Amino acid sequence: MSGTAGIAATPYAELPAQMVDELAAAGLDPEAVHAAVAAALAEDLPGALGDVTSVATISADARGTAVFAAREPGVVAGLGIAALVFAYVMGDEVVVSDRLPDGTRVVAGDAVMRVEGPVRGLLCAERTALNFASHLSGVATATSHWVAALEGTSARVLDTRKTLPGWRALQKYAVRCGGGVNHRFSLSDMAMVKDNHVIAAGGVVPAYDAVRARFPEVPVEVEVTDLDQLRALLAAGCDRILLDNMDTATMSEAVRITAGRASLEASGGLTLGRAREVAATGVDFISVGALTHSVVVFDLGMDLQETA
């Protein structure tokens, strides 16, 4: 290996075409993913010395194979990004095989990917690869639990914009791997009228009408906290309404009043234990910020195989 800090630092243009195509097919920007990997590795390799532990203890010509394995049950995501980490560090000296597709359900002990290459490179890339894959698998696994809880109902689980700065596209991808649905990605692709907008505009209907007048082609959703606001918005023609922090009985009544005239999203302090009860009211969506803002990382490990 050569380049910065003794790694290949593979440029985007030299990534394998199959890797780039796979990321694009997953709805990710391959160039942005490459940049995120480069930035993450720069945190580990800020100077010219490189991985001083591996350089001191491992021969430069030593090659080996490492196995990524799940240490708990769940759903994996981000393995393609982990593979890109190894490609960035080792270039064409690395071979990735037996990689499970993102979205695969696994149990403890399942091998999810094998990586062969220079041992120094394997260990240099290990933590960064695991950081991406473990976090994103955690998001996918958490989402899968909500999907399971809603099975048999018409409700779908939504993510939110409560994402780690710089990780939104990756976290929302992981939600999709877990079977969830993405809410808006940014402030510009959908209007979301919240309580502060309502206060500033003078009510839910004036706020809704203002958005419709200024941006007639942009989808709009309005948050309500009571049934009077709901009735007023339905009369105004609003077709997507968020029910904020309502109890189950009130949500059931909201569904009855709406009678299919708008899609309804339940939000605010919802727990997995309450998921099915809320879905049974007939709401269309349940939004869960915890899918991304406080997820527990999935336990993945990388073990170097001993050579005979």
Under DSSP, the state recorded for 48 is S
Residue at token pair 């302090």:
269
- Annotated active-site residue in 244, 253, 276, 299: 244
Sign for the pseudo-dihedral over CA of 80, 82, 88, 89: negative
Q: How many helices (H) and strands (E) does the chain have?
A: 12, 12
Of residues 242, 297, 251, 240, the one with CA closest to residue 274: 251
Residue in 71, 114, 162, 168 annotated catalytic: 162
Q: Map tokens 């995120």 to a residue.
A: 36
Residues 288 and 150: their CA atoms lie apart, in Å, by 13
Out of 71, 105, 114, 127, the active site residue is 127
Tell me, yes or no, if 194 is annotated catalytic.
Answer: yes
Residue 223 annotated in active site: yes
Give catalytic status of residue 162 as yes or no.
Answer: yes
Catalytic residue selected from 194, 228, 256, 303: 194
Contact criterion met (CB below 8 Å) for 8 and 1: yes
Q: CA triplet 283, 287, 290: central angle to 5 degrees?
A: 145
CB-count exposure of residue 116 (10 Å: 0-12, 13-18, 19+):
middle
Pick the catalytic residue from 159, 221, 223, 265. Answer: 223
Q: Helices 227-236 and 204-214 meet at what angle, rounded to 10?
A: 30
Contacts of 191 (CB under 8 A, 6+ apart): 211, 215, 218, 219, 220, 221
Give the CA-trace dihedral at 253, 258, 260, 263, to 10 degrees. -90
Active site residues: 127, 162, 194, 223, 244
